[in-house]
Chains A and B, each alone.
Chain A
Amino acid sequence: DQQVKQNSPSLSVQEGRISILNCDYTNSMFDYFLWYKKYPAEGPTFLISISSIKDKNEDGRFTVFLNKSAKHLSLHIVPSQPGDSAVYFCAAGGNMLTFGGGTRLMVKP
């Protein structure tokens, strides 16, 4: 039972454009949602979070949107940079985090 899903395994974007990564969840008890970024041979690094009482959170070039009625969240990166190329995981939780399968983002110069 996959409670957190990232349906796009990969995404390719031109430098300077917007990257939009999507995530769906099934458990309405989740009260916190996070995005992590992972480079090869490293552990995941925390990027940005949002609580279930909000619908948007911004941090610099990164914005996370939460649509609770649709059980959907998305991460927007504007403008995208080549250094953003990595695997992005969404995660959701209450007591501990459940992760999606990841989306590989490639930002082309």
Chain B
Amino acid sequence: DTGVSQNPRHKITKRGQNVTFRCDPISEHNRLYWYRQTLGQGPEFLTYFQNEAQLEKSRLLSDRFSAERPKGSFSTLEIQRTEQGDSAMYLCASSLGTFSDYGYTFGSGTRLTVV
């Protein structure tokens, strides 16, 4: 297992279109997190899963955003009716239990550009 994998790496979409991103965590990790990072800012928490259960969602996650983690394996993040303000790097991370001493392992992210 080489780490957390995110696809696609880059996505350019027109305003109003729907987009979906995929994250494959480290296989033995039961927790999966989605973060969003804009230029010059730190990652902002969006949501996290423990196995297949979505346990917490940020207020940043409007009703246009939905995340799933079927069967507790990979996860998808969908954004409907994209807006220019959705342009950001979307980061996925995973951990075994809480982050404790070793933090999360992050993927390389999906950069979304809404034109």
Contact = CB atoms under 8 A, between A and B. Distances in A.
A51 B103 CA distance: 11
A2 to B, nearest CB: 9
Interface in A79-109: 89, 91, 93, 95-102
B1 interface: no
Interface string B38-75: 00111111001000000010000000000000000000
A16 interface: no
Interface residues of A, number: 25
Contacts of B48: 96
Q: Could you say which interface size class chain B belongs to?
A: 20 to 34
B99 A41 contact: no
B44 to A, nearest CB: 7
A46 B103 contact: yes
Given A101-B40, A102-B42, A95 B106 contact: no
Interface of B: 4, 33, 35, 40-45, 48, 56, 91, 93, 98-109
Interface of A: 4, 6, 9, 32, 34, 36, 41-46, 49, 51, 89, 91, 93, 95-102
The 9 A-B residue pairs whose C-beta atoms are closest, nearest first, are A43-B106, A99-B42, A46-B103, A99-B43, A101-B42, A34-B103, A43-B108, A44-B106, A89-B42
